[in-house]
Amino acid sequence: MELRVAFLKNKSTYTSQIKSEAKRLGFLSCGISKAEFLEDEAPRLEQWLNSNMHGEMSYMENHFDKRLDPTLLVSGSKSVISLLLNYFPSEVQREDSYKISKYAYGTDYHFVIKDKLKELLHFITSEIGDVHGRAFVDSAPVLDKAWATRSGLGWMGKHTNVLSKQVGSFYFIAELIVDLELDYDTPVTDHCGSCTACIDACPTQAIVEPYVVDGSKCISYFTIELKDEIPSSYKEQFDDWMFGCDVCQDVCPWNRFSKAHREPLFNPKPEILSYSKKEWNEITEEVFQQIFRKSPVKRTKFDGLKRNINFIK
């Protein structure tokens, strides 16, 4: 009995320490869930793939089992520590500009978050002991949104972004999967209600029904993932987005509670805020490399960005 009480006390202490350190590192919030098979998500993922809603993102078909079971990614894992990092900017682009999704204003989030996750994992191993784990920032087969909702960080909105009553949805999601048992959080309730703002506003009708997005119709897919020519049937529907799209988040009532981030690395290069359509039209590869060094926008490459601009101008 005494051993059990001591274990529960340690578990609670470890959980509190981890959440405090996550806050110190600048994470918006931290939630923890049990590392186990995502039974509810399995049929949804299978149906989404079978409906070809992933378009040419063939990597989504890989590692189906690992996407649903964290114990296949980290041997002996017991807990999924989910973390949110705010990227909502204090300033946005000028109105007469081709638009870039807000998450891509600054330094590539993979670099920023990975460093913070390494620090958090180092803290866990140094303060708690022999704990093994891995850090994940959407570049591995992990269902980030499913774990975030399981750990009570928000609910899945009708646009399939995770929503919080306190801070909306403009944040990155990342995880540490560890072989340490901790106190687990519980999901929060859905607060979308009868609102359909995101569905009504989507320029390409990619939100085919509440909580289902056809990725192959999304502007973010066309401007980032698609390597071929953009289908001409979508001409005039891009609303001036040249990289990504924020429409479904911009119209969401819960994002009126978004507050500007405090991460200097997410601050935009001046050109991103000041360039007009004319300047984007005239951009050279040399300038592209300068403005978007260590930026998520480099993923589409110079030719891809020019393709996007030529499609929407």
- Tens digit of pLDDT for each residue in 10-60? 999 999 999 999 999 999 999 999 999 999 999 998 999 899 899 888 888
Is the pLDDT at 233 greater than 80? The verdict is yes
Percentage, residues of the chain above pLDDT 90? 89
pLDDT of residue 8: 54
Distance between CA atoms of 169 and 171, rounded to whole angstroms?
6
CB 229 within 8 A of CB 248: no
Q: What integer pLDDT is reported at residue 62 of this predicted model?
A: 83
All residues at 6 or more sequence positions from 200 whose CB lies less than 8 Å from its CB, including other chains = 251
Q: Does the CA dihedral 26-168-305-280 come out positive or negative?
A: negative
Helix (H, G, I), strand (E, B) or coil at 302: helix
Give the β-pairing of 171-178 and 162-163.
unpaired
**What integer pLDDT is reported at residue 115 of this predicted model?**
96
- What is the rounded distance in angstroms from the CA atom of residue 248 to the CA atom of residue 109? 21
What does the pLDDT average to over 67-93? Answer: 96
Residues 6 or more apart from 27 whose CB is under 8 A from it?
83, 84, 85, 116
Give the pLDDT score at 249. Answer: 98
Position of tokens 């891509």?
A: 104
Measured distance CA(158)–CA(209) in Å, rounded: 8
Sign of dihedral through CA atoms 253, 197, 160, 39?
positive
Q: Is the pLDDT of residue 173 over 80?
A: yes
**Which residues form the catalytic set?**
138
HSE at residue 242, side-chain half, CA atoms within 13 A, is 28
- The length of the chain in residues reads 313
Identity of residue 51: S
State pLDDT tens for residues 122-154: 999 999 999 999 999 987 889 999 999 999 999
pLDDT at res. 9: 62
Given a contact cutoff of 8 angstroms between Cβ atoms, the answer to whether 79 and 177 are in contact is yes
Confidence of residue 4 (pLDDT cuts 50, 70, 90): very low
Of 185, 161, 180, nearest to 251 by C-alpha is 161
Residue 1 has a pLDDT of 46
Tell me: the pLDDT tens digits for 270-305? 999 999 999 999 999 999 999 999 999 999 999 999
Q: 99-100 and 241-243: which strand pairing? A: parallel
In this predicted structure, which of 5-9, 173-177, 188-192, 212-216 has the lowest mean pLDDT?
5-9
